[in-house]
Structure 1
């Protein structure tokens, strides 16, 4: 026996399912999410949706033929044309893919989620979240058939709302009341549950003021007060953590409310920085590598073209390095490469602000801003002398004398640093080698 009359339950129960569909829409990127149920031989009933729809049922036709419900997500894209034309006209995307998340799959009845998306459906970030979505929806639908009780369904939805490992704040359309989940409580320091928007705004402002990038965030969020459709995703970085913050209006209309999503990505950003550093550094010497220059060459060329200073570009080669490898072994050769690299980088004073790159083998490239050609010559001489005037200690407490040759030139506005400037420095380096080594030659 129903706990409440069917008419009262039918009024309230879809609200929890609708909110659930909106969550799934955000997590999956699908522009349409439907909670559906059907029995064999009957139309597919739409119980709830993330959008206002002109229809409540879909004719099955070939949509569910040979439906494989053993998979977590079933791809029905080949049957998308069998969707109601009323739905397809609402979403005239060039590419429309259809997926089914099965909750109940028996011989006589099926229920779950239909997701319509432009492009392929990417895997949810965490398989546990996907399993939890199915589990919660299964309970919600089970209770729907058994009890049809509004508060019970809202409690199930709030279980999901509070259990997700991301902070979520839902601002109601009137702009005065917000709902905060448990993760957002931990991140913002305000109680979970219902809270005034003024309290939420103060917590956001307090967090933003602590951010290293507070000035940038203030500029990015300036349009929020005037633009109802304002949406943005960016990092909020403090000394302790990095939060990825996403805000956008619900259903693309702020009058329906606004959602804020906060995710702690500190560990992820540390991994990304570590991987980037590894990818951009030479493992042996610690100098930057060619990949670094290719990645940042456009920024370098733009900055150099607009700078008041000139940029000296130097090609540096360790003299007679092949003989060191052949006579003393590659281990000693590696020691020499490390020592030369460290000594040269140590000579680049803070005011030089140079970029030091291992170009390959025993060759290095230096890009350093200088005020005058004379200053460029002084930098080159300082580097040369730092190697020539002091032997290098290698394995087994052995020391060997090493010298370097340098070819140098200046970057010219409009040219490519890797196609034009460095080859010109390399030509000057060849002249330095031919001229006796342990010297610097300039090419204009």
Structure 2
């Protein structure tokens, strides 16, 4: 019977050794940075990826031969991590909340000072009797993913030629501001702008020059607007400006300021010096308007009047 017992012990030892090596292999090759902290707040393990993600030298931690940390407080390590995050106060507050509430799991994104974004998961370690054993933290670099998402949002919301908002995003924001205006009884104005003699520019100088005119005009207008205003190219040579918390008088004054500033001197466009001029129609949201389209319709009518009156002017529709 003894040989059988020895074989069983050997088999169990081999199995345990295999399991240990398997776990270590997964641990070391994981794309996530992993940190394990026990119930006493002592660091008991972490992998190489954790150190790389947080740019922490191995020498800053006491290590065993197998790569695990000799039990020491996570306070020094936490200080290193906090020094690298964009919002240390909020980061620390959430970490302390998780330690104070061991039943909670957590997931969030962390902005670092070096411009990277990390995704963080934190989960509780429990024993067979559901007792709290500690917490495991997982970190993953999602910077590339976030940049890709931002690029997709940029494409979905912005005009590829001028970089202004596109028609779709303008109407999305306009609907939001319409509802906000109704809820808080705040003024809301819209200006529609159409480049004067744009067809002539295209015919005489070519469409490439026409494109440069649109780009330059949008840059000049954007530079003069407030942060709360939204400029959008809604078609061809037509632009719209959404002006929240702005009454008709203020909106008309802004449109006239834009017109005069842009028209007062020639602008270099594709090797030419051109005087950029536009006609604009301005209106304010009225109590009887059922939708933002009612407001836009009046602005369009006012812009048409500006064209009929000789162009290079602003018409306001009360």
- Residue matched to 1:231: 105
Cα deviation for residue 230 of structure 1 reads 1.6
In structure 1, distance between residues paired with 2:83 and 2:217: 44
- Residue matched to 1:387: 262
What SS class does the counterpart of residue 193 from structure 1 fall into?
coil
- Residue matched to 1:406: 280
In structure 2, distance between residues paired with 1:298 and 1:217: 35
In structure 1, distance between residues paired with 2:185 and 2:76: 44
Is the contact between residue 347 and residue 386 of structure 1 (CA under 8 Å) also seen in structure 2? no
In structure 2, distance between residues paired with 1:363 and 1:298: 19
Deviations along 1:222-268, whole A, 9 cap, x unmatched?
64244333222222112212211111224796725432110122233
Cα deviation for residue 299 of structure 1 reads 5.8
Instruction: Choose from 6, 18, 24 the match for 2:8.
Output: 6
Instruction: Tell me the TM-score normalised to structure 1 length.
Output: 0.58
| 1:261 to 2:127 alignment | no
Structure 2 residue runs of 5 or longer lacking an equivalent are 62-66
In structure 2, distance between residues paired with 1:4 and 1:247: 42
Is the contact between residue 170 and residue 178 of structure 1 (CA under 8 Å) also seen in structure 2? yes
Instruction: Choose from 338, 350, 354 the match for 2:229.
Output: 354
In structure 2, distance between residues paired with 1:209 and 1:300: 39
Is the contact between residue 27 and residue 47 of structure 2 (CA under 8 Å) also seen in structure 1? yes
Instruction: Choose from 240, 258, 281 the match for 1:365.
Output: 240
Cα deviation for residue 152 of structure 1 reads 4.2
Instruction: Tell me the TM-score normalised to structure 2 length.
Output: 0.78
Cα deviation for residue 194 of structure 1 reads 2.8
Summarize the alignment of residues 85-100 of structure 1 with structure 2, pairs less than 5 Å apart: none
**CA pair 294-208 structure 1, distance change in 2 beyond 3 A:** farther
| 1:439 to 2:313 alignment | yes
**CA pair 213-158 structure 1, distance change in 2 beyond 3 A:** same
- Residue matched to 2:304: 430
| 1:270 to 2:272 alignment | no
Is the contact between residue 357 and residue 364 of structure 1 (CA under 8 Å) also seen in structure 2? yes
In structure 2, distance between residues paired with 1:427 and 1:222: 59
Cα deviation for residue 161 of structure 1 reads 0.4
What SS class does the counterpart of residue 194 from structure 1 fall into?
coil
Relative CO higher for 1 or 2, CA cutoff 8 Å, sep ≥ 6? 2
In structure 1, distance between residues paired with 2:287 and 2:47: 54
| 1:183 to 2:49 alignment | yes
Structure 1 residue runs of 5 or longer lacking an equivalent are 14-146
Is the contact between residue 168 and residue 259 of structure 1 (CA under 8 Å) also seen in structure 2? yes
In structure 2, distance between residues paired with 1:280 and 1:292: 5
- Residue matched to 2:24: 158
Is the contact between residue 173 and residue 254 of structure 1 (CA under 8 Å) also seen in structure 2? no
**CA pair 280-179 structure 1, distance change in 2 beyond 3 A:** same
Is the contact between residue 173 and residue 258 of structure 1 (CA under 8 Å) also seen in structure 2? yes
Instruction: Count matched residues.
Output: 304
What SS class does the counterpart of residue 254 from structure 2 fall into?
helix
In structure 1, distance between residues paired with 2:150 and 2:207: 31
| 1:323 to 2:189 alignment | no
- Residue matched to 1:332: 209
**CA pair 171-287 structure 1, distance change in 2 beyond 3 A:** same
- CA RMSD after TM alignment: 3.6
Deviations along 1:325-381, whole A, 9 cap, x unmatched?
234322222122122212222222xx5642211111111111234665433222111
